Structure 1
Amino acid sequence: MVQPRDLDIRTLYTLEAIHRLGSISAAADELGLSQPAVSHALRKLRHVFSDPLFIRAGTGITPTPRATQLAASARRIESLVNAEVNSATEFDPQQLRRKFRLLMTDPGELVLLPRLLRKIRSSAPQVTVESSSRPAGEMAEALDSGVADLAIGPFPELALSHLRQERLYRRSFLCLYASDHPTLSRKGLTLETYLGESHLSVRSTSRTEEIFEQFLAENGYTRNVVVTVPHMLSVPAVVRESDLIATVPQAVGAFFGNYPGIMAHRAPFLDEVSFPSTTVSQFWSARFEQDPAHVWLRSLVTGLFREPIAPPATNSCPELLIH
């Protein structure tokens, strides 16, 4: 049996970093240690637990079940230590040294992340941020385990989970097309012209577009989709140089609508009661409910993005809110 005196908490933190990053060199960079020091800590843990912990697999390393168990334990210990230390002193974001790991969609990274980073940098200059995406089925576990701190986005699966959550805002969809579109520049964007033209579709990990596709199917509408892309960043370039229409989340549409040669227009379905919208929320684990740094981060998100439950409706693009 392993005795507590056989362990150094710092070696467990090292193992957690290797497990999360999948690389000894990456763990060394994050922890500010030399690669030999990280390798030495790993050898010590292998001896204590009589387990290889990580094995070579192709060009990387793969954790053993024991390593995965220990990494989870290290995250729980780190969370407890942070909570105890922070509760004993007055919280000061200027002194905070911490990496916050966010789960976001690519529209969120495009529209929300810059504003959040600006606020974080002005209040806590020593804080770093890492944004990533995960499959829907893995996000709750990542938040509970501490691999991620906060999820911000339209995540319906998380809305039905055990996680803590706060609704931020609700938005619909916009259409993007070239300002010199051969048909729309003359006739405008109506339901008839929308259905008669060719379209660009985005199939991103955010899955926001699935809501719009479901609306079309349920109401018997069909589009001629000629191009499909996996993320939002290519949308303005493709739309500007083609005769395609892209239907995107409102935040993205309002953002790209400022690009030269791009027109943003409300979707021609807005008068229909069933026209869809998405709710953007922030989600976190109950484990971090009282963690002062976590509370501070959530308060920044709330202050920047939370809106009343029923914001005023609008039908013209210039009045649409960006986020």
Structure 2
Amino acid sequence: MDNSQIDMNLLRLFEAVYRLGSVSRAAEALGLSQPAASQGLARLRHAVGDALFVRSGTGMRPTLRAEQLAGAIQPALSAIQSALAVKDEFDPLQSRITVRLHLSDIGEARLLPDLVATLHREAPGMRLHTEPLPHEEIADALATGKIHFALGFLPSVTETERVELLRDRYAVVVRAGHPLLAQGTRIAAIQDLKRLEYVAVRSHSETLRILGQLGLDSRLALTSAHFLALPAIIVKTDFAVVMPHAIAQRFMDARRYALLSTSLPNSRFTVSMHWNRRFDNDPAHRWMRQLFVSLFRNGARPGRAAQGRRAK
């Protein structure tokens, strides 16, 4: 058999003749002319090296070779047609997929609570897996499907699709009883900042950049591997930490911590959602993109987010 001569149209023609027992009826079912159907059948006979069908008093009867082919071709065509007929829909209530995300520890603290709560209501069978990756590996991980989304301030990540979700700025946080606050003000000048000692997380390069631009590298008393240890350290010392303003407001008790009003260099940043364009038309992927946007863009409220998605 010369497989290069056989295409999907010839297989569909074979299946129709086999099923209907007539070349003319097969041609009508497929929207072909009688000559075109006959020519197609001739091409298929030549490629297979068998007559495939012979005339009889009741129509076209299949040969033994045709019977063998039909046993493979009919279920294959049926499977293809079923796959093509699947509607471009996604039912989150029935989904059991695992969504893999790049998130830093600060990103987890900021985004996961609302995300997990919403998925618990709208897609209870879905699972999340977060994995912080080196920034230079994120684009390839998105392209290969190792992760589905990367969320964060990722200016070095290029060649991806991207949507801005929210904006924030870095702030300086100290304990509520810090000596700097003894005069009853939370306004800190650059000279005040230069008298402080700092803790930082080495994976958050923007914090280190800001300290470097202020000339405070020598004031860095502790560099930690994880963000979660810093609040407990600050509350027991006179150290300060540079961290996202929204995180400080949301997770730090105002009775124990104080946000200093100060001007930091290039302290504003954006948190974006990154993905690879080859997943643009995947229904589950599209649903998740809409979910992220509705939850987090411009401080959207989860209740309105759910309503907006259902309306689409």
TM-score by length of 1: 0.62
2:288 maps to 297
**CA root-mean-square deviation:** 2.3
Q: CA deviation at 1:120?
A: 1.2
CA separation in 2, counterparts of 1:136 and 1:86?
39
CA separation in 2, counterparts of 1:279 and 1:211?
16
SS in 2 for 1:306: helix
Q: CA deviation at 1:91?
A: 2.0
CA separation in 1, counterparts of 2:139 and 2:84?
26
Q: Deviations over 1:252-271 (max 9, x none)?
A: 222333264111233x115x
Choose from 224, 231, 246 the match for 1:229: 224
SS in 2 for 1:156: coil
Q: Does 1:213 align with 2:208?
A: no
Answer with 1 or 2: which has the greater Rg. Answer: 2
Q: Deviations over 1:116-160 (max 9, x none)?
A: 1111111111000001101111111111101100000001111xx
Task: Say whether the 8 Å CA contact 1:175–1:253 is kept in structure 2.
Answer: no
Q: CA deviation at 1:223?
A: 5.8
Q: Does 1:186 align with 2:180?
A: no
CA separation in 2, counterparts of 1:262 and 1:223?
24
1:99 maps to 98
Q: Does 1:288 align with 2:279?
A: yes
2:159 maps to 162
Task: Say whether the 8 Å CA contact 1:208–1:278 is kept in structure 2.
Answer: no
C-alpha spacing 1:291/1:240, structure 2 compared with 1 (3 Å):
same
CA separation in 2, counterparts of 1:86 and 1:244?
62
C-alpha spacing 1:291/1:89, structure 2 compared with 1 (3 Å):
closer
Equivalence map 1:224-303=2 (5 Å): 224-258=219-253, 260-266=255-261, 268-269=262-263, 274-303=265-294
| Percent sequence identity over aligned pairs | 28
2:201 maps to 202
SS in 1 for 2:96: coil
Give the AA of the match of 2:91.
D
Give the AA of the match of 2:277.
A
CA separation in 1, counterparts of 2:218 and 2:240?
10
Structure 1 segments unaligned to the other structure (5+ residues): 1-80, 309-323
Give the AA of the match of 2:128.
V
Give the AA of the match of 1:190.
A
Residue correspondences, number: 216
Structure 2 segments unaligned to the other structure (5+ residues): 1-79, 300-312
CA separation in 2, counterparts of 1:304 and 1:199?
33
SS in 1 for 2:179: coil
Equivalence map 1:64-143=2 (5 Å): 87-88=86-87, 90-143=89-142
Task: Say whether the 8 Å CA contact 1:107–1:251 is kept in structure 2.
Answer: no
Task: Say whether the 8 Å CA contact 2:200–2:208 is kept in structure 1.
Answer: no
